[in-house]
Chain A
Amino acid sequence: MQRMVIQRILIGLVTLWVVSVLVFIMTSLLPGDVASIVLGQAATPETLAAYRAANGLDQPLIFQYFGWLANMVTGDLGVSKAGGAKIYDLIAGRLGNTMFLAGLVALISVPLSVALGLLAAMYPGTWIDRSLTFGTLALISVPDFFIATFAVLILAVQLGWLPAIASVAPENTFWQMARGIAMPLIVLVIVVAAQMIRMTRAGILNVMNSPYIEMAILKGVRRKRIILRHAFFNTIGPIVNVIALNLAYLVSGVVIVETIFAYPGLAKLMIDGVQTRDLPLVQACAMIFCGTYVVLIIMADVAAILANPRLRNPK
């Protein structure tokens, strides 16, 4: 297993590098550069040249990339080309916010969806299963910005129970914090749990078709016991993988939720970076996302191996 983990880490590093090249190429294809976007409508050839010179943008792009790569390797994230702030400063607080939200969502949604997924699998075809299937399908099928906006209009504007925008200010008390983060938390739990419930159910039902379960059924073991004792452990691999992917989504893909709740997280920062063509900022965010993904997938693989005796003790 150690060998596998080391191999995966090496592959992860290569992937990180590929991501940086990919992002670099795509960013260089974007129309306009930082200078023309920051100066916007007010840009003139002279101010553009002055801005580029002041921010080191007059060098060829490829030099900028290697300069960035060299700094990155030494742990220096550089300076935002758009506002001059240190990228570390821009990212640090937001990374914390993102992890805080993602962690809370995971804490609630993982047990919830595994439990509901098991429940649906235990009683397939019953009204519990059907309503869970329809409920989750409906939630997956509607754009998340619709769910988010709807939730705001009901919970914040109509009922006034929760604030319409998220707030994670450091001076907040715990209670304010909990209230401030409730809306994005609710919406994300809904979006993420729907996926995981379905996958858990599908995974378990699939295992239920395997010969050894059929054998157990023929032996007269109770269905509940089969699912909890036999099927579930054999399904952990795929379920953990689905969870890992959903966590990766929580770290990197929640742009829309961050936008609607004005939650200062990383995904929005990267979009801002793309929109201002701020190469070092975009690269730094991409590295974090890719790194998270790699780490989560490795963890999922390890978990799958630990949960499965056949994989734990290879022939």
Chain B
Amino acid sequence: MTDTTQAAASESDQETSIYDELPDAPPKKKLKLTWTGKLGVIVVAFWVIIAVIGPWIAPYDQAEILDMDSYLPPGAEIDSGGTHWLGSDNNERDILSRVLWGARMTVGISFFATLLAYLMGVTAGIAAAVKKGWIDMILSRINDAILSLPTIMLGLLIVVALGSSIPILIGTAAIIYASSVYRIARAYGQEIMVMDYVESAQARGETIWWIIFREVLPNAAMPLATDFGLRLVFVVLFISSLSFLGLGIQPPNADWGSMVRGNLEAMQYAEGWGILAPIWPALAIASFTIAINLIVDDISAKSGGDLAKKMI
């Protein structure tokens, strides 16, 4: 059993570092990916590259309305020459081009929103764990309040109040998902704060910042990284839910979620293979999020269940 051997291996390294006593200690061995994990890495890398170069390799501009018809089937030829390799969308734009452009929006926004959620959530969570008392009380109640409201409702409230723009969407998603991150970070923080070595550090007179950066964060890093992947997926889906309500990414910018939403009607009344119009962006979302999850699965083979406890 590979799991047993790995555990045994890390036990034998015990003397090398004080951290290894911890149940949450990051695996010391280089992460070994299964073939599904490797596939995940390849797909994510592909989309990240597309996010960077997409606009240059796309045959058309994302906003270009080509004078043909909406929901043309894949491979349809354009009057002015050229081909819609994936067909045309509800506004007679080239779907392939929009999927390529959309990578930047979807991958970029979800990445930055998750990053921001982590900055906020981890800061507040660790602060609550370290400071305790009324700071913990206030932060935790606000956090409970945010968690108890449906995400889509909160998103609606914020986006309607402030208008839908990319920075606001990133901020909104970040605030909403920071609350989950907060819980995890706080739980890890609390657990680590009562560890002997932290208490001894406190006894040594180390500052709180030293403890946070040297003791708490490194120990919580791996499980948090696992959660990062999952959170990224939720952000992608959250933004597409907002698109369902008409509040997502604004035209002419392409993002996969709003492309699915905008072309959903094609499944009902497009002719021939034009009905595939919403499938392409849905495939893009699915491939990206599944790939992330495959990687996460591999990383979390050890820390996942423990994480599950703290995600609540």
State which of A133, A145, A214 has its C-beta within 8 Å of the C-beta of B264: A145
Whether A208 contacts B151 in the complex (CB less than 8 A), given A238-B309, A290-B145, comes out as: no
**Which residues from B are CB-within-8-Å of A202?**
300, 304-305, 307-308
Task: Check: A149 CB closer than 8 A to any chain B CB.
Answer: yes
**How far, in Å, is A229 (CB) from chain B's closest CB?**
17
**Which residues from A are CB-within-8-Å of B308?**
199, 202-203, 206, 238, 241-242
B241 touching A143, Cβ below 8 Å:
yes
Please, how many angstroms separate the alpha-carbon atoms of A130 and B37 in the complex?
12
Task: Check: B282 CB closer than 8 A to any chain A CB.
Answer: yes
B141 touching A15, Cβ below 8 Å:
yes
Contacts A27-B157, A143-B282, A275-B160 known; list 18 others, CB within 8 Å: A15-B141, A18-B141, A22-B145, A30-B160, A137-B289, A138-B290, A140-B233, A143-B244, A143-B285, A207-B305, A209-B302, A209-B305, A238-B312, A255-B241, A271-B152, A289-B150, A290-B145, A290-B149
Task: Check: B62 CB closer than 8 A to any chain A CB.
Answer: no
Task: Check: A245 CB closer than 8 A to any chain B CB.
Answer: yes
Please, how many angstroms separate the alpha-carbon atoms of A235 and B36 in the complex?
26
A146 touching B260, Cβ below 8 Å:
yes
Count residues on chain A whose CB falls below 8 Å from chain B CBs.
65
A242 touching B305, Cβ below 8 Å:
no
Task: Check: B4 CB closer than 8 A to any chain A CB.
Answer: yes
**How far, in Å, is B182 (CB) from chain A's closest CB?**
14
**Which residues from B are CB-within-8-Å of A116?**
none
Give 1 or 0 for each of A82-119: 1 = CB within 8 Å of chain B CB: 00000000000000000000000000000000000000
B151 touching A209, Cβ below 8 Å:
no
Tell me how many residue pairs across A and B have CB atoms closer than 8 Å.
172
Among B150, B157, B245, B297, residue most surrounded by chain A Cβ atoms (within 10 Å) = B150
**How far, in Å, is B15 (CB) from chain A's closest CB?**
19
B158 touching A137, Cβ below 8 Å:
no
Give 1 or 0 for each of B293-309: 1 = CB within 8 Å of chain A CB: 11001001111111111
Please, how many angstroms separate the alpha-carbon atoms of A282 and B143 in the complex?
19
Task: Check: A190 CB closer than 8 A to any chain B CB.
Answer: no
A19 touching B145, Cβ below 8 Å:
yes
Please, how many angstroms separate the alpha-carbon atoms of A275 and B150 in the complex?
16
Please, how many angstroms separate the alpha-carbon atoms of A217 and B297 in the complex?
23
Task: Check: B166 CB closer than 8 A to any chain A CB.
Answer: no
State which of B36, B260, B286, B304 has its C-beta within 8 Å of the C-beta of A205: B304
Docked complex: A135-163 residues within 8 A CB-CB of B:
137-138, 140-146, 149-150, 153, 157
Please, how many angstroms separate the alpha-carbon atoms of A293 and B147 in the complex?
9
**How far, in Å, is B301 (CB) from chain A's closest CB?**
7
Please, how many angstroms separate the alpha-carbon atoms of A208 and B278 in the complex?
41
State which of A146, A205, A255 has its C-beta within 8 Å of the C-beta of B150: A255
**Which residues from B are CB-within-8-Å of A78?**
none
Task: Check: B267 CB closer than 8 A to any chain A CB.
Answer: yes
Count residues on chain B whose CB falls below 8 Å from chain A CBs.
56
**How far, in Å, is B137 (CB) from chain A's closest CB?**
9
B152 touching A253, Cβ below 8 Å:
yes
Please, how many angstroms separate the alpha-carbon atoms of A130 and B241 in the complex?
28
**How far, in Å, is B243 (CB) from chain A's closest CB?**
8
State which of B152, B264, B285, B312 has its C-beta within 8 Å of the C-beta of A245: B312
**How far, in Å, is B175 (CB) from chain A's closest CB?**
11
Task: Check: B12 CB closer than 8 A to any chain A CB.
Answer: no
Please, how many angstroms separate the alpha-carbon atoms of A157 and B304 in the complex?
41
**Which residues from A are CB-within-8-Å of B286?**
138, 141-142
Q: Which 4 A-B pairs rank lowest in CB-CB distance, beginning with the nearest? A: A206-B305, A241-B312, A293-B148, A141-B289
Give 1 or 0 for each of B135-162: 1 = CB within 8 Å of chain A CB: 0000001101111111111001110111
A sample of 26 cross-chain residue pairs with beta-carbon separation below 8 angstroms, ordered by A number, consists of: A11-B144, A15-B141, A18-B144, A19-B148, A22-B145, A143-B237, A143-B257, A146-B278, A157-B268, A202-B305, A204-B305, A206-B303, A206-B304, A208-B3, A209-B7, A209-B302, A237-B309, A241-B312, A253-B152, A256-B241, A274-B156, A274-B157, A274-B160, A289-B149, A293-B148, A294-B148
A153 touching B144, Cβ below 8 Å:
no
Task: Check: B38 CB closer than 8 A to any chain A CB.
Answer: no
Task: Check: A281 CB closer than 8 A to any chain B CB.
Answer: no
Task: Check: A270 CB closer than 8 A to any chain B CB.
Answer: yes
Please, how many angstroms separate the alpha-carbon atoms of A142 and B278 in the complex?
11
**How far, in Å, is A58 (CB) from chain B's closest CB?**
22
Closest to A249 in B: B150
Docked complex: B84-104 residues within 8 A CB-CB of A:
none
Please, how many angstroms separate the alpha-carbon atoms of A263 and B152 in the complex?
17
Task: Check: A267 CB closer than 8 A to any chain B CB.
Answer: yes
B158 touching A26, Cβ below 8 Å:
yes
Please, how many angstroms separate the alpha-carbon atoms of A18 and B36 in the complex?
44
B309 touching A241, Cβ below 8 Å:
yes
A19 touching B149, Cβ below 8 Å:
yes
State which of A15, A134, A206 has its C-beta within 8 Å of the C-beta of B145: A15
**How far, in Å, is B238 (CB) from chain A's closest CB?**
10
Task: Check: B240 CB closer than 8 A to any chain A CB.
Answer: yes
State which of B149, B257, B294 has its C-beta within 8 Å of the C-beta of A137: B294
**Which residues from A are CB-within-8-Å of B152?**
253, 255-256, 267, 271
**How far, in Å, is B11 (CB) from chain A's closest CB?**
10
A30 touching B142, Cβ below 8 Å:
no
**Which residues from A are CB-within-8-Å of B307?**
202
Among A150, A209, A289, residue most surrounded by chain B Cβ atoms (within 10 Å) = A209
Please, how many angstroms separate the alpha-carbon atoms of A252 and B183 in the complex?
20
**Which residues from B are CB-within-8-Å of A259?**
244
Task: Check: A29 CB closer than 8 A to any chain B CB.
Answer: yes
**How far, in Å, is A291 (CB) from chain B's closest CB?**
8
